């Protein structure tokens, strides 16, 4: 396939700085000296999240296949990060952008979207990202001139991680035995999973998921009734559930121990790695820290104890 070379030609200015993120050694947090833990810092991307990779590939793929024309309007359901990435690239490449997202997202996300010139249409927070998907699909059907990349069902979401994230991980940590990522759209798990298993089929792909009754992390629970079309559960080697409290705990803990200011979904994936380290031997776990913590400052989660945060975190979308 020529996708990789074409993506390189697509890159301009800031877009050249998407990817090639750092891999940080967090093995001091492991419960077993023979189990190493590493995290890929996706907050280093231009708008501060792993979704810049996806946004670039979504727009590139649409341009390559003549689905996008100059000045056209892009509409996308998002919990924030993909929308921000799309808004940034749309600004650079001359598209209009509409982000459809829950009204429970952090104020930093809405401010950044507006800064990039995006229009925002809010869905009901209680309906989560599933509600945003339904609303965006309705609006798109009523406006056939709009283009909806639809990250949840677009193979470009997988390509983004197959050609960049997965390749980088193999280069940075060729002795990886386990890969851990949050269960969101499925793009990261599917794309990285495919790439690393081609490299070494014994590498295990593990999804971090919220408990079905606990949605504050913004990770996707398949028990909530919607499985993204690009997510093939049969290609996962495991799914480990995490509670909100442990996700917040490890988000703050890694800031205290390593000075890493990351989002709550990063705390969730780290919690998964810690659990795995208790039962594994002679293993190398690589996980994804999907975004930085600055988009969540208004919540106060970095300053307060979990027991003090019930009102601030109730129903919020964290990823």
CA angle 164, 168, 172 (to 5 degrees): 175
Q: Which of 265, 277, 283, 299 is catalytic?
A: 265
d(CA 209, CA 243): 9
d(CA 190, CA 127): 25
Instruction: For 16-73, give the DSSP string.
Output: GGSS---EEE-GGG-SSTTEEEEEEEGGGSTTSBTHHHHHHHHHHHHHHTT---TTPE
20: phi > 0 → left, psi -120 to 50 → alpha, else beta; which? left
- Active-site annotation holds for 265: yes
Q: What's the Cα-to-Cα distance from 274 to each of 35, 36, 112, 262, 263, rounded to whole Å? A: 10, 10, 33, 17, 17
Tokens of 313: 């975190």
- Strand segments, DSSP code E, in the chain are 23-25, 35-41, 73-77, 96-102, 119-123, 178-182, 204-210, 238-242, 283-289
Coil, strand or helix at 147: strand
C-beta of residue 301 within 8 angstroms of C-beta of residue 245: no
d(CA 299, CA 297): 5
- Active-site annotation holds for 134: no
**Residue found under tokens 């708008």:** 47
Q: Which of 51, 167, 194, 316 is catalytic?
A: 51
Which residues form the catalytic set? 51, 265
């Amino acid at each position: 396939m020529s996708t990789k070379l074409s993506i390189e030609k697509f890159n301009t200015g800031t877009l050249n700085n998407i990817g090639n993120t750092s891999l940080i050694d967090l093995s001091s947090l492991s419960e077993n000296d023979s189990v190493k833990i590493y995290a890929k810092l996706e907050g280093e991307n231009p708008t501060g999240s792993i979704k810049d990779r996806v946004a670039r590939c979504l727009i590139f793929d649409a341009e390559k296949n003549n689905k996008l024309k100059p000045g056209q309007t892009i509409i996308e359901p998002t919990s924030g990060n993909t929308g921000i990435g799309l808004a940034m690239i749309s600004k650079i490449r001359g598209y209009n952008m509409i982000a459809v997202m829950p009204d429970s997202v952090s104020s930093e996300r809405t401010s950044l979207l507006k800064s990039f010139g995006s229009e925002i249409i809010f869905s009901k927070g209680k309906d989560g990202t599933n509600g945003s998907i339904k609303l965006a699909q309705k609006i798109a059907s009523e406006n056939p001139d709009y283009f909806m990349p639809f990250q949840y069902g677009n193979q470009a979401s997988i390509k983004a991680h197959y050609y960049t994230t997965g390749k980088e991980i193999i280069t940075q940590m060729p002795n990886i035995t386990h890969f851990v990522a949050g269960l969101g759209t499925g793009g990261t798990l599917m794309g990285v999973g495919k790439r690393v298993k081609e490299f070494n089929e014994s590498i295990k792909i593990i999804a971090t998921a919220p408990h079905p009754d606990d949605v504050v992390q913004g990770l996707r629970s398949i028990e909530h009734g919607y499985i993204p079309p690009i997510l093939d559960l049969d290609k996962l080697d495991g799914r480990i559930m995490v509670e909100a409290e442990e996700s917040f705990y490890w988000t703050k803990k890694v800031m205290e121990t390593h000075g890493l200011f990351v989002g709550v979904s990063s705390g969730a994936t780290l919690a998964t790695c810690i659990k795995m380290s208790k039962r594994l031997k002679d293993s190398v776990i690589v996980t994804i820290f999907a975004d930085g913590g600055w988009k969540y400052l208004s919540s106060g989660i970095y300053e307060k104890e979990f027991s003090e945060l019930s009102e601030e975190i109730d129903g919020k979308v964290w990823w």
